[in-house]
Structure 1
Amino acid sequence: MFVTFVSITSLAVLIRIVANPLSNVFQKQLTHRSADPLFIISATYGFLALACLTVWPQLQVEGLPKAFWLSMLVVGLFAMLGNVFLVKALHIGDLSVLGPINAYKSVVGLVVGIFLLNEIPGWWGLAGVVLIVVGSYVVLSNKQQRKGFSWRIFGRQEVKLRLAALVFSAIDGAFLKKAIVLSSPTIAFFYWCVFGFAFTLIWMLIVLKDRWQEQTSLLFSQKSTYLALFLTVGVTQVASNIALAEMQVGYALALFQTSALISVLFGHRFFNEQGILRKLIGAAIMVAGAILITVLG
């Protein structure tokens, strides 16, 4: 039985590592075609919620504890903010940069774990944090610049948006883990979609009240890309929930960051982003840091 759980968890992590950067590709493509980030996220939540109702008409509502609903409210709000900020960042920044930057999520996961879960990192975990910082400098540096490290790098709009997104995502991961423990990965996934859609719909009705028809028309004209996005986001989140059900939050978030290498390759392949070798080296350093946190931290 233990081997079965390990196999399922490992497969879920592997699927998540590939599916997540692929969903980022579709999100970036849609923003380049005038799709609004908020509409993209709302449509994704809405489609996935409807898909769940279609294949699973009798969802559990009664019998779930109050703590589950409170956790899902936090998850819905923070996941919405994290996803919208992520898509905004992808719109103006390079996937090959923003993918590796997401490795900072493992650092946030450690901090959240200290205060919420009383998980104290060891020396190897701290060494992993240092590697992530070093790797991010390599990814963000410009070979044409001769100056040393500058904190102004983190003043770049796309980097600030990506950092905000990963902070919200890391916190939402901790509460999602709690919701999964109180229910199941599938039930938590459905309500992740429902609460996310409710929050984004309210926000969208306020912000995009004069543009929703234009965005809806764009959805139908770009239906193939939207459908690919819905599928990859759904697969990513289901795989994340399965992994979180069997792993500590900090370790799962760290292990997910090995997708940084794939993000660099996708950025070069789909958007012709440059500096591929330097970014691969930086991403590899960040992945090494994430692995240290996961295995030895």
Structure 2
Amino acid sequence: MLLTVVTVTTFAVLIRIVANPLSNVFQKQLTHRAADPLFVISATYGFLALVCLAFWSQLRFAGLPVAFWSCMLVVGLFAMIGNVFLVKALHLGDLSVLGPINAYKSVVGLIVGIFLLNEIPRWWGLVGVLLIVVGSYVVLATKQPQTGFSWRLFQRPEVRLRLAALVFSAIDGAFLKKAIVLSTPTIAFFYWCLFGFGFTIIWIGFTRRERWREQATLLVSQKSTYFALFLTVGVTQVASNIALAGMQVGYALALFQTSALVSVLFGYQFFNEKGILRKLIGAGIMVAGAVMITVLG
């Protein structure tokens, strides 16, 4: 039984490592075709919520504890904000840069653990933080000579948006784990879609009402790319839920960061982004740091 759980969890992590960067590719393609990030996220949530209805027998409303609903409200809100920030960042920046930046999620998890859980990292964890900082510098550095680390690198709009996205994502991951423990990965996935769709519709109602016809027309004209996005996001989130159900949040977040290497390769393959060798080296350093934080820290 233990072997089966480990195998399913490992398989879910591997699927997630590939599916998440691929979903970023489709998100970036859509924003380059005038798709609004908020509409992209809303359409994704809405489609996946409809698909969940096919599994109605595995869903339930009654009998779930109050803690589950409070967790899902936080997850829905934070996941929506994080995803919108992510798509905006992908529109502005290179996938081969923004993918590796996500390794900072492990740093966020470490900081949250110190203040909320009193989890003091050992020196290996601090070395992991240093590796992530060094790796991010390698990824973000240009060919221009530099005298040392420059915080101006983090003034780039796309980098700041990506950092904001991962902070929201790291926090919602902790609440999502608790919601999964209180229910099942399938039920948590359904309400992740439903609450996320509800929050995006409210946001659109207040700020984007005049654009819904234009965006609906674009959805129809780009239906193939949208469908590919729906599929990869759905696979990514299902795999994430299964992984979170089978391991600690910290371990899962660290393993997810190996997708940084895939993001760099996809950035080169789909968008002809430059400096790939340097970015691969930097992404590898960041991944090593993320693993050290959670496995050895």
Distance 2:119 2:47 in 1: 36
Query: Counterpart of 2:167?
Result: 167
Alignment TM-score, normalising by the size of structure 2: 0.98
Displacement of 1:112 in angstroms is 1.9
Displacement of 1:57 in angstroms is 5.2
Q: Does 1:29 align with 2:24?
A: no
**Quick check: 1:254–1:294 contact (8 Å CA) kept in 2?**
yes
Question: What are the residue-to-residue correspondences of 1:163-242 with 2, within 5 Å?
Answer: 163-242=163-242
What is the number of residues matched between the two proteins? 297
The alpha-carbon distance between structure 1 residues 204 and 145, as it changes in their structure 2 partners (threshold 3 A), is farther
Question: What are the residue-to-residue correspondences of 1:245-256 with 2, within 5 Å?
Answer: 245-256=245-256
Q: What are the ranges of 5 or more consecutive residues in structure 1 without an aligned counterpart?
A: none
**Quick check: 1:35–1:215 contact (8 Å CA) kept in 2?**
yes
Displacement of 1:153 in angstroms is 0.8
Distance 1:95 1:206 in 2: 30
Displacement of 1:118 in angstroms is 3.8
Letter aligned with residue 243 of structure 1 = A
**Quick check: 2:59–2:186 contact (8 Å CA) kept in 1?**
no
Distance 2:223 2:119 in 1: 44
**Quick check: 1:251–1:293 contact (8 Å CA) kept in 2?**
no
Query: Counterpart of 1:93?
Result: 93
Displacement of 1:52 in angstroms is 0.1
Q: Where has structure 1 moved over 4 Å in runs of 4 or more?
A: none
Secondary structure in 1 matching 2:257: helix
Instruction: State the Cα RMSD in Å.
Output: 1.1
Query: Counterpart of 2:7?
Result: 7
Displacement of 1:117 in angstroms is 3.7
Letter aligned with residue 228 of structure 2 = A
Secondary structure in 2 matching 1:56: helix
Distance 1:107 1:214 in 2: 40
Deviation string for 1:223-269 (max 9, x for gaps)? 00000000100000011111111211122111100000000000011
Displacement of 1:174 in angstroms is 0.6
**Quick check: 1:9–1:242 contact (8 Å CA) kept in 2?**
yes
Displacement of 1:125 in angstroms is 1.6
Q: What are the ranges of 5 or more consecutive residues in structure 2 without an aligned counterpart?
A: none
Secondary structure in 1 matching 2:236: helix
Letter aligned with residue 193 of structure 1 = C
Displacement of 1:205 in angstroms is 1.5
Q: Does 1:81 align with 2:81?
A: yes
Displacement of 1:56 in angstroms is 2.5
Letter aligned with residue 202 of structure 1 = I
Displacement of 1:150 in angstroms is 0.8
- Greater CA drift, 206-215 or 120-129: 120-129
Aligned sequence identity (%): 80
Displacement of 1:156 in angstroms is 0.6
**Quick check: 2:96–2:264 contact (8 Å CA) kept in 1?**
yes
The alpha-carbon distance between structure 1 residues 203 and 121, as it changes in their structure 2 partners (threshold 3 A), is same
The alpha-carbon distance between structure 1 residues 119 and 186, as it changes in their structure 2 partners (threshold 3 A), is farther
Displacement of 1:58 in angstroms is 5.9
Distance 2:8 2:227 in 1: 26
Query: Counterpart of 1:141?
Result: 141
Distance 1:17 1:126 in 2: 25
Distance 2:267 2:117 in 1: 35
